[in-house]
Amino acid sequence: MNTQPFVLILLSAAQRLRLNDGTEVTTGFWAEELVVPWQILRKAGWRLQVVTPGGVPPLIDPESLDPSTLGGDHSRAAYLCNAVRQITGLRTPLDLDALTGKDLDTLIGVFIPGGNGPLMDLCQAPGVDRLLRHCVAAAKPIATLCHGTAALLATCGGADRSPFCGQRVTCFSAAEESATPLAGRWPYTLENRLRQEGFRVSTGAPWQSHIATDNFILSGQNPASAATLTHVFIERLTSTPTYKGNNMNADALKKMAAEAALRYIQPGMVVGVGTGSTTNFFIAALGAAKIHVDGYVASSIATENRLKAQGLNVLDLNATGDIPVYVDGADEADPHFRLIKGGGGALTREKIVASAARLFICIADVSKDKPMLGKFPLPVEVIPFARSFVARQLVKLGGSPTLRNGVTTDNGNVILDVTGLDLSDPLRMEESINAIPGVLDNGIFAHRRADVMLFGSADGVIERKA
Protein backbone atom coordinates (compact mmCIF):
# COMPACT_ATOMS: atom_id res chain seq x y z
CA MET A 1 0.00 0.00 0.00
CA ASN A 2 1.13 3.60 -0.66
CA THR A 3 2.71 5.12 2.44
CA GLN A 4 0.99 8.50 2.00
CA PRO A 5 -1.68 9.22 4.66
CA PHE A 6 -5.20 8.26 3.63
CA VAL A 7 -8.79 8.24 4.81
CA LEU A 8 -10.31 4.77 5.08
CA ILE A 9 -13.86 4.38 3.77
CA LEU A 10 -15.25 1.33 5.58
CA LEU A 11 -18.16 -0.33 3.77
CA SER A 12 -20.27 -3.36 4.54
CA ALA A 13 -19.71 -6.48 2.44
CA ALA A 14 -23.14 -7.88 3.36
CA GLN A 15 -25.40 -8.68 0.43
CA ARG A 16 -28.50 -10.09 2.14
CA LEU A 17 -30.45 -8.91 5.19
CA ARG A 18 -32.21 -11.63 7.21
CA LEU A 19 -35.59 -10.58 8.60
CA ASN A 20 -37.65 -11.82 11.54
CA ASP A 21 -39.74 -14.16 9.42
CA GLY A 22 -36.65 -15.86 7.95
CA THR A 23 -36.92 -14.16 4.56
CA GLU A 24 -34.03 -12.23 3.09
CA VAL A 25 -33.81 -9.00 1.12
CA THR A 26 -30.93 -7.53 -0.86
CA THR A 27 -28.85 -5.04 1.12
CA GLY A 28 -25.56 -3.16 0.85
CA PHE A 29 -24.41 0.44 1.22
CA TRP A 30 -26.65 3.47 0.71
CA ALA A 31 -25.54 5.28 -2.46
CA GLU A 32 -25.97 8.88 -1.25
CA GLU A 33 -24.15 8.12 1.99
CA LEU A 34 -21.07 7.11 0.03
CA VAL A 35 -21.24 9.52 -2.92
CA VAL A 36 -21.66 12.74 -0.91
CA PRO A 37 -18.71 12.25 1.50
CA TRP A 38 -16.55 10.72 -1.25
CA GLN A 39 -16.98 13.76 -3.49
CA ILE A 40 -16.45 16.28 -0.69
CA LEU A 41 -13.34 14.52 0.60
CA ARG A 42 -11.86 14.14 -2.88
CA LYS A 43 -12.57 17.79 -3.73
CA ALA A 44 -10.77 18.79 -0.53
CA GLY A 45 -7.71 16.81 -1.69
CA TRP A 46 -7.87 13.75 0.57
CA ARG A 47 -6.59 10.36 -0.54
CA LEU A 48 -9.26 7.69 -0.04
CA GLN A 49 -9.16 3.88 0.27
CA VAL A 50 -12.18 1.59 0.33
CA VAL A 51 -12.07 -1.37 2.72
CA THR A 52 -14.55 -4.17 3.44
CA PRO A 53 -14.53 -7.34 5.56
CA GLY A 54 -12.71 -9.93 3.50
CA GLY A 55 -12.03 -7.47 0.68
CA VAL A 56 -15.39 -8.39 -0.88
CA PRO A 57 -16.64 -5.83 -3.44
CA PRO A 58 -19.60 -4.07 -1.79
CA LEU A 59 -23.09 -3.91 -3.25
CA ILE A 60 -25.33 -0.88 -3.55
CA ASP A 61 -28.61 -1.20 -1.68
CA PRO A 62 -31.03 -1.06 -4.62
CA GLU A 63 -33.52 0.94 -2.55
CA SER A 64 -31.02 3.83 -2.47
CA LEU A 65 -31.23 4.19 -6.26
CA ASP A 66 -35.01 3.86 -6.48
CA PRO A 67 -36.49 7.21 -7.58
CA SER A 68 -39.45 6.66 -5.24
CA THR A 69 -37.01 6.63 -2.31
CA LEU A 70 -35.63 9.95 -3.58
CA GLY A 71 -38.97 11.71 -3.73
CA GLY A 72 -39.57 10.73 -7.34
CA ASP A 73 -36.37 12.44 -8.50
CA HIS A 74 -35.25 10.30 -11.46
CA SER A 75 -32.37 12.63 -12.33
CA ARG A 76 -30.98 12.32 -8.79
CA ALA A 77 -31.19 8.54 -8.99
CA ALA A 78 -29.33 8.55 -12.33
CA TYR A 79 -26.72 10.93 -10.95
CA LEU A 80 -26.04 8.76 -7.90
CA CYS A 81 -25.83 5.62 -10.05
CA ASN A 82 -23.27 7.24 -12.32
CA ALA A 83 -21.31 8.69 -9.39
CA VAL A 84 -21.02 5.26 -7.76
CA ARG A 85 -19.69 3.78 -11.01
CA GLN A 86 -16.88 6.34 -10.99
CA ILE A 87 -15.59 5.17 -7.60
CA THR A 88 -13.10 2.63 -8.91
CA GLY A 89 -12.03 1.54 -5.43
CA LEU A 90 -15.33 -0.31 -5.05
CA ARG A 91 -14.17 -2.99 -7.50
CA THR A 92 -11.02 -3.92 -5.58
CA PRO A 93 -11.44 -2.90 -1.93
CA LEU A 94 -8.79 -3.58 0.67
CA ASP A 95 -9.32 -6.52 3.01
CA LEU A 96 -10.10 -5.17 6.47
CA ASP A 97 -8.59 -8.21 8.16
CA ALA A 98 -5.38 -7.93 6.13
CA LEU A 99 -4.56 -4.37 7.19
CA THR A 100 -1.07 -4.32 8.68
CA GLY A 101 0.16 -2.28 11.61
CA LYS A 102 1.85 0.03 9.11
CA ASP A 103 -1.45 0.47 7.26
CA LEU A 104 -3.17 1.43 10.50
CA ASP A 105 -0.40 3.90 11.34
CA THR A 106 -0.73 5.53 7.92
CA LEU A 107 -4.49 5.99 7.89
CA ILE A 108 -5.62 9.35 9.23
CA GLY A 109 -9.31 8.72 9.86
CA VAL A 110 -12.23 6.40 9.13
CA PHE A 111 -15.57 7.23 7.50
CA ILE A 112 -18.35 4.61 7.70
CA PRO A 113 -21.40 5.13 5.43
CA GLY A 114 -24.64 3.33 6.14
CA GLY A 115 -27.25 1.27 4.39
CA ASN A 116 -28.63 -1.79 6.18
CA GLY A 117 -25.51 -3.82 5.42
CA PRO A 118 -23.60 -2.77 8.59
CA LEU A 119 -26.39 -4.35 10.67
CA MET A 120 -25.26 -7.72 9.29
CA ASP A 121 -21.46 -7.59 9.35
CA LEU A 122 -19.77 -4.40 10.58
CA CYS A 123 -21.61 -4.61 13.90
CA GLN A 124 -19.79 -7.82 14.84
CA ALA A 125 -16.60 -8.01 12.77
CA PRO A 126 -13.38 -8.43 14.82
CA GLY A 127 -11.52 -6.40 12.20
CA VAL A 128 -13.82 -3.46 12.87
CA ASP A 129 -13.15 -3.71 16.61
CA ARG A 130 -9.40 -3.67 15.97
CA LEU A 131 -9.65 -0.73 13.57
CA LEU A 132 -11.80 1.45 15.81
CA ARG A 133 -9.73 0.78 18.94
CA HIS A 134 -6.63 1.80 16.99
CA CYS A 135 -8.29 5.10 16.00
CA VAL A 136 -9.27 5.84 19.60
CA ALA A 137 -5.76 5.10 20.87
CA ALA A 138 -4.18 7.30 18.17
CA ALA A 139 -6.78 10.12 18.45
CA LYS A 140 -7.92 9.69 14.84
CA PRO A 141 -11.46 10.78 13.95
CA ILE A 142 -14.18 8.25 13.18
CA ALA A 143 -17.29 9.37 11.29
CA THR A 144 -20.33 7.11 11.12
CA LEU A 145 -23.40 7.88 9.03
CA CYS A 146 -26.94 6.55 9.52
CA HIS A 147 -26.77 2.73 9.97
CA GLY A 148 -22.97 2.99 9.70
CA THR A 149 -23.06 3.76 13.44
CA ALA A 150 -23.80 0.04 13.90
CA ALA A 151 -20.06 -0.52 13.41
CA LEU A 152 -19.47 0.84 16.92
CA LEU A 153 -21.29 -2.23 18.27
CA ALA A 154 -18.31 -4.35 17.16
CA THR A 155 -16.43 -2.98 20.18
CA CYS A 156 -19.12 -4.22 22.60
CA GLY A 157 -19.60 -7.62 24.24
CA GLY A 158 -15.95 -8.64 24.51
CA ALA A 159 -13.65 -8.87 27.49
CA ASP A 160 -12.59 -5.23 27.09
CA ARG A 161 -15.10 -2.45 27.67
CA SER A 162 -16.07 -0.49 24.55
CA PRO A 163 -14.11 2.78 24.32
CA PHE A 164 -17.33 4.42 23.06
CA CYS A 165 -19.53 3.42 25.99
CA GLY A 166 -21.16 6.55 27.41
CA GLN A 167 -20.26 8.69 24.40
CA ARG A 168 -22.77 10.77 22.45
CA VAL A 169 -23.70 9.38 19.03
CA THR A 170 -26.58 9.50 16.59
CA CYS A 171 -27.95 7.07 14.02
CA PHE A 172 -31.01 6.39 11.87
CA SER A 173 -33.68 6.98 14.49
CA ALA A 174 -36.41 4.64 15.67
CA ALA A 175 -38.93 7.18 14.38
CA GLU A 176 -37.37 7.01 10.92
CA GLU A 177 -37.17 3.21 11.05
CA SER A 178 -40.92 3.04 11.76
CA ALA A 179 -41.63 4.78 8.45
CA THR A 180 -39.62 2.36 6.28
CA PRO A 181 -40.87 -0.78 4.47
CA LEU A 182 -38.82 -2.93 6.88
CA ALA A 183 -40.47 -1.50 10.01
CA GLY A 184 -41.06 -4.28 12.53
CA ARG A 185 -39.40 -6.91 10.33
CA TRP A 186 -35.90 -6.53 11.80
CA PRO A 187 -35.01 -7.90 15.28
CA TYR A 188 -34.10 -4.46 16.69
CA THR A 189 -33.82 -0.79 15.88
CA LEU A 190 -30.28 0.53 15.91
CA GLU A 191 -31.20 3.44 18.18
CA ASN A 192 -32.54 1.11 20.88
CA ARG A 193 -29.64 -1.33 20.56
CA LEU A 194 -27.10 1.46 21.00
CA ARG A 195 -28.90 2.69 24.10
CA GLN A 196 -28.86 -0.84 25.54
CA GLU A 197 -25.09 -1.00 25.04
CA GLY A 198 -24.55 2.21 26.99
CA PHE A 199 -24.25 4.81 24.22
CA ARG A 200 -25.83 8.25 24.72
CA VAL A 201 -27.98 8.49 21.59
CA SER A 202 -29.03 11.91 20.32
CA THR A 203 -31.60 12.11 17.52
CA GLY A 204 -33.12 15.03 15.69
CA ALA A 205 -36.28 15.49 13.67
CA PRO A 206 -36.90 12.67 11.18
CA TRP A 207 -35.30 13.11 7.76
CA GLN A 208 -33.54 16.34 8.83
CA SER A 209 -29.79 16.81 9.11
CA HIS A 210 -28.51 16.08 12.61
CA ILE A 211 -25.00 15.29 13.81
CA ALA A 212 -23.50 14.36 17.17
CA THR A 213 -19.86 14.79 18.18
CA ASP A 214 -18.01 13.46 21.22
CA ASN A 215 -14.24 13.60 21.27
CA PHE A 216 -13.09 11.84 18.09
CA ILE A 217 -16.36 10.06 17.29
CA LEU A 218 -18.62 11.97 14.88
CA SER A 219 -21.95 10.66 13.66
CA GLY A 220 -24.78 11.68 11.36
CA GLN A 221 -28.39 10.58 11.70
CA ASN A 222 -29.46 9.98 8.09
CA PRO A 223 -28.57 10.66 4.43
CA ALA A 224 -29.50 14.34 4.87
CA SER A 225 -26.64 14.62 7.39
CA ALA A 226 -23.95 13.39 4.96
CA ALA A 227 -22.51 16.72 3.85
CA THR A 228 -22.47 18.39 7.27
CA LEU A 229 -20.90 15.33 8.85
CA THR A 230 -18.20 15.23 6.17
CA HIS A 231 -17.27 18.88 6.66
CA VAL A 232 -16.96 18.40 10.41
CA PHE A 233 -14.92 15.25 9.75
CA ILE A 234 -12.52 17.23 7.56
CA GLU A 235 -12.03 19.78 10.34
CA ARG A 236 -11.12 17.00 12.76
CA LEU A 237 -8.79 15.37 10.21
CA THR A 238 -6.66 18.50 10.03
CA SER A 239 -6.13 18.46 13.80
CA THR A 240 -4.88 14.86 14.05
CA PRO A 241 -1.23 14.09 14.86
CA THR A 242 -0.92 12.04 11.65
CA TYR A 243 -2.08 15.00 9.56
CA LYS A 244 0.25 17.45 11.27
CA GLY A 245 3.19 15.13 10.71
CA ASN A 246 2.64 14.90 6.95
CA ASN A 247 2.47 17.33 4.07
CA MET A 248 -1.20 17.04 3.20
CA ASN A 249 -2.47 19.59 0.71
CA ALA A 250 -5.43 21.15 2.57
CA ASP A 251 -3.11 23.53 4.43
CA ALA A 252 -1.11 24.11 1.25
CA LEU A 253 -4.27 25.28 -0.53
CA LYS A 254 -5.16 27.62 2.33
CA LYS A 255 -1.62 29.04 2.33
CA MET A 256 -1.80 29.55 -1.44
CA ALA A 257 -5.02 31.57 -1.17
CA ALA A 258 -3.72 33.57 1.80
CA GLU A 259 -0.52 34.58 0.04
CA ALA A 260 -2.47 35.59 -3.08
CA ALA A 261 -4.32 38.19 -0.98
CA LEU A 262 -1.08 40.08 -0.34
CA ARG A 263 -1.31 41.78 -3.73
CA TYR A 264 -4.33 43.71 -2.48
CA ILE A 265 -2.36 45.17 0.45
CA GLN A 266 -0.70 48.52 -0.28
CA PRO A 267 1.62 50.68 1.88
CA GLY A 268 -0.20 53.22 4.05
CA MET A 269 -3.42 51.19 4.28
CA VAL A 270 -5.39 50.15 7.33
CA VAL A 271 -6.16 46.45 6.88
CA GLY A 272 -8.86 44.40 8.59
CA VAL A 273 -7.91 40.83 9.46
CA GLY A 274 -10.31 37.96 10.15
CA THR A 275 -10.07 34.87 12.32
CA GLY A 276 -9.43 31.20 11.56
CA SER A 277 -6.99 28.69 10.15
CA THR A 278 -6.77 30.25 6.66
CA THR A 279 -6.41 33.75 8.09
CA ASN A 280 -3.53 32.50 10.25
CA PHE A 281 -1.62 31.79 7.02
CA PHE A 282 -2.40 35.34 5.88
CA ILE A 283 -1.03 36.76 9.14
CA ALA A 284 2.17 34.74 8.72
CA ALA A 285 2.48 36.04 5.14
CA LEU A 286 2.01 39.63 6.36
CA GLY A 287 4.78 39.16 8.89
CA ALA A 288 7.15 37.91 6.19
CA ALA A 289 6.17 40.53 3.59
CA LYS A 290 6.77 43.52 5.93
CA ILE A 291 4.44 45.84 3.99
CA HIS A 292 4.47 49.29 5.64
CA VAL A 293 0.78 49.72 6.37
CA ASP A 294 -0.65 52.12 8.96
CA GLY A 295 -1.97 49.22 11.02
CA TYR A 296 -4.28 46.24 11.32
CA VAL A 297 -7.77 45.93 12.82
CA ALA A 298 -8.29 42.48 14.36
CA SER A 299 -11.64 40.67 14.39
CA SER A 300 -10.81 38.71 17.55
CA ILE A 301 -8.48 38.61 20.50
CA ALA A 302 -6.79 35.55 18.98
CA THR A 303 -6.05 37.45 15.76
CA GLU A 304 -4.84 40.47 17.70
CA ASN A 305 -2.36 38.27 19.58
CA ARG A 306 -1.14 36.65 16.34
CA LEU A 307 -0.62 40.02 14.67
CA LYS A 308 1.33 41.33 17.65
CA ALA A 309 3.44 38.16 17.69
CA GLN A 310 4.48 39.04 14.11
CA GLY A 311 5.48 42.52 15.28
CA LEU A 312 2.55 44.14 13.43
CA ASN A 313 0.76 47.27 14.64
CA VAL A 314 -2.81 46.60 15.84
CA LEU A 315 -5.37 49.41 15.84
CA ASP A 316 -8.67 49.76 17.69
CA LEU A 317 -11.61 49.84 15.27
CA ASN A 318 -12.96 52.86 17.17
CA ALA A 319 -9.77 54.78 16.38
CA THR A 320 -10.00 54.25 12.60
CA GLY A 321 -12.27 55.39 9.79
CA ASP A 322 -13.23 53.27 6.82
CA ILE A 323 -11.00 50.26 6.27
CA PRO A 324 -9.78 49.89 2.66
CA VAL A 325 -9.40 46.09 2.75
CA TYR A 326 -10.62 43.26 4.97
CA VAL A 327 -9.25 39.71 4.52
CA ASP A 328 -10.92 36.70 6.09
CA GLY A 329 -11.76 33.04 5.46
CA ALA A 330 -15.09 31.22 5.21
CA ASP A 331 -16.68 27.90 6.08
CA GLU A 332 -18.80 27.99 2.91
CA ALA A 333 -19.08 30.32 -0.09
CA ASP A 334 -21.71 30.27 -2.83
CA PRO A 335 -21.51 31.57 -6.43
CA HIS A 336 -23.12 34.86 -5.35
CA PHE A 337 -20.27 35.61 -2.89
CA ARG A 338 -22.49 34.91 0.12
CA LEU A 339 -20.77 33.12 2.97
CA ILE A 340 -21.20 31.10 6.11
CA LYS A 341 -18.62 32.06 8.71
CA GLY A 342 -18.08 31.65 12.41
CA GLY A 343 -16.47 28.25 12.77
CA GLY A 344 -13.86 30.02 14.89
CA GLY A 345 -16.52 31.74 17.01
CA ALA A 346 -15.67 35.33 15.98
CA LEU A 347 -18.59 35.86 13.59
CA THR A 348 -20.00 39.07 15.13
CA ARG A 349 -16.71 40.99 15.19
CA GLU A 350 -15.87 39.59 11.76
CA LYS A 351 -19.13 40.96 10.36
CA ILE A 352 -18.52 44.35 11.97
CA VAL A 353 -15.03 44.70 10.51
CA ALA A 354 -16.17 43.40 7.13
CA SER A 355 -18.97 45.97 7.10
CA ALA A 356 -16.49 48.73 7.89
CA ALA A 357 -14.31 47.73 4.92
CA ARG A 358 -14.61 48.98 1.36
CA LEU A 359 -13.24 45.72 -0.08
CA PHE A 360 -13.86 42.28 1.46
CA ILE A 361 -11.47 39.59 0.22
CA CYS A 362 -12.39 36.03 1.20
CA ILE A 363 -9.63 33.43 1.16
CA ALA A 364 -10.28 29.68 1.34
CA ASP A 365 -9.31 26.30 0.00
CA VAL A 366 -11.47 25.15 -2.90
CA SER A 367 -13.46 22.71 -0.75
CA LYS A 368 -15.35 25.72 0.65
CA ASP A 369 -16.71 26.59 -2.81
CA LYS A 370 -20.35 25.39 -2.76
CA PRO A 371 -23.28 25.62 -5.18
CA MET A 372 -25.42 26.81 -2.26
CA LEU A 373 -25.06 27.45 1.45
CA GLY A 374 -26.39 25.28 4.22
CA LYS A 375 -24.37 22.10 4.60
CA PHE A 376 -22.02 23.56 7.22
CA PRO A 377 -23.68 24.17 10.61
CA LEU A 378 -24.65 27.83 10.96
CA PRO A 379 -23.14 29.53 14.05
CA VAL A 380 -25.41 31.92 15.95
CA GLU A 381 -23.99 34.08 18.75
CA VAL A 382 -26.45 34.28 21.63
CA ILE A 383 -26.60 36.11 24.96
CA PRO A 384 -26.37 33.30 27.57
CA PHE A 385 -29.56 34.45 29.34
CA ALA A 386 -31.54 33.89 26.11
CA ARG A 387 -29.97 30.59 25.02
CA SER A 388 -33.00 28.32 25.49
CA PHE A 389 -35.46 30.86 24.14
CA VAL A 390 -33.37 31.48 21.04
CA ALA A 391 -32.95 27.73 20.50
CA ARG A 392 -36.74 27.29 20.49
CA GLN A 393 -37.15 30.10 17.97
CA LEU A 394 -34.50 28.54 15.72
CA VAL A 395 -36.43 25.26 15.79
CA LYS A 396 -39.49 27.19 14.61
CA LEU A 397 -37.40 28.40 11.65
CA GLY A 398 -36.68 24.75 10.75
CA GLY A 399 -33.31 24.44 12.43
CA SER A 400 -31.76 21.97 14.85
CA PRO A 401 -29.54 23.97 17.24
CA THR A 402 -26.71 22.51 19.31
CA LEU A 403 -24.79 24.39 21.98
CA ARG A 404 -21.07 24.60 21.18
CA ASN A 405 -19.78 23.28 24.49
CA GLY A 406 -16.89 25.00 26.23
CA VAL A 407 -16.93 28.07 23.97
CA THR A 408 -17.35 31.65 25.16
CA THR A 409 -16.97 34.35 22.52
CA ASP A 410 -14.83 37.45 22.91
CA ASN A 411 -18.11 39.24 23.64
CA GLY A 412 -18.91 36.89 26.54
CA ASN A 413 -21.64 34.99 24.73
CA VAL A 414 -22.36 31.39 23.64
CA ILE A 415 -22.60 29.83 20.18
CA LEU A 416 -25.47 27.72 18.89
CA ASP A 417 -24.56 25.67 15.79
CA VAL A 418 -27.69 25.16 13.70
CA THR A 419 -28.29 22.52 11.03
CA GLY A 420 -31.33 21.86 8.86
CA LEU A 421 -32.15 25.47 7.93
CA ASP A 422 -33.41 26.29 4.45
CA LEU A 423 -30.81 28.75 3.12
CA SER A 424 -32.22 29.08 -0.39
CA ASP A 425 -32.69 32.77 0.51
CA PRO A 426 -29.67 33.50 2.73
CA LEU A 427 -30.41 37.21 3.17
CA ARG A 428 -33.92 36.55 4.41
CA MET A 429 -32.70 33.89 6.85
CA GLU A 430 -29.90 36.17 8.07
CA GLU A 431 -32.43 38.87 8.86
CA SER A 432 -34.96 36.45 10.40
CA ILE A 433 -32.41 35.00 12.82
CA ASN A 434 -31.05 38.42 13.79
CA ALA A 435 -34.61 39.56 14.58
CA ILE A 436 -34.84 37.02 17.43
CA PRO A 437 -34.35 38.81 20.80
CA GLY A 438 -31.15 37.53 22.39
CA VAL A 439 -29.30 36.92 19.13
CA LEU A 440 -26.25 39.10 18.71
CA ASP A 441 -25.57 37.97 15.14
CA ASN A 442 -25.32 34.89 12.96
CA GLY A 443 -22.76 33.51 10.53
CA ILE A 444 -24.62 34.21 7.28
CA PHE A 445 -22.80 36.91 5.34
CA ALA A 446 -25.45 37.77 2.74
CA HIS A 447 -26.04 41.44 3.53
CA ARG A 448 -22.26 42.03 3.59
CA ARG A 449 -21.02 39.62 0.95
CA ALA A 450 -17.44 39.14 -0.17
CA ASP A 451 -16.20 41.30 -3.05
CA VAL A 452 -13.37 38.99 -4.09
CA MET A 453 -13.01 35.22 -3.66
CA LEU A 454 -9.58 33.60 -3.71
CA PHE A 455 -9.72 29.80 -3.66
CA GLY A 456 -6.56 27.71 -3.38
CA SER A 457 -6.83 24.71 -5.68
CA ALA A 458 -4.59 22.02 -7.16
CA ASP A 459 -4.54 24.10 -10.36
CA GLY A 460 -3.52 27.32 -8.62
CA VAL A 461 -5.49 30.24 -7.18
CA ILE A 462 -9.02 30.70 -8.52
CA GLU A 463 -9.97 34.40 -8.36
CA ARG A 464 -13.56 35.62 -8.65
CA LYS A 465 -14.79 39.20 -8.39
CA ALA A 466 -18.34 40.33 -7.68
Residue tagged active-site, from 332, 350, 381, 430: 350
Please state the separation of Cα 428 from the chain's center in Å: 24
Of 347, 194, 378, the C-alpha closest to 274 is: 347
Residue 277 marked in a binding site = yes
Q: How far apart are CA 274 and CA 300, in angstroms?
A: 7
N residues, the chain? 466
Q: How far apart are CA 214 and CA 460, in angstroms?
A: 36
Residue 343 marked in a binding site = yes
Residue 342 marked in a binding site = yes
Range list of β-strands (E), 189-316? 200-201, 211-214, 217-220, 270-273, 295-298, 314-315
Q: Any alpha helices (H) in 178-270, and if so which ranges?
A: 190-196, 226-237, 241-244, 249-260
Residue 331 marked in a binding site = yes
In the sheet that holds 270-273, the strands lie side by side as 314-315, 295-298, 270-273, 323-328, 357-365, 452-457, 460-465
Phi–psi pair at 214, nearest 5 degrees: -155, 105
Angle between helices 249-260 and 277-289 (to 10 degrees): 50
Q: How far apart are CA 32 and CA 160, in angstroms?
A: 34
Contact 138, 144 (CB under 8 A): no
Angle subtended at Cα 258 by Cα 255 and Cα 260, rounded to the nearest 5 degrees: 110
Residue 268 marked in a binding site = no
Amino acid letter, residue 249 = N
Of 97, 107, 112, the C-alpha closest to 140 is: 107
CA distances 426 to 247, 329, 375, 385, Å, are: 36, 18, 13, 27
Residue 406 marked in a binding site = no
CA distances 238 to 109, 242, 431, Å, are: 10, 9, 33
Residue 278 marked in a binding site = yes
350 is catalytic: yes
Other Cβ atoms within 10 Å of 238 Cβ, number: 16
Helix (H, G, I), strand (E, B) or coil at 274: coil
Show binding-site residues.
275-278, 328-331, 341-344, 368
Catalytic residue IDs: 350
Show binding-site residues for substrate.
275-278, 328-331, 341-344, 368
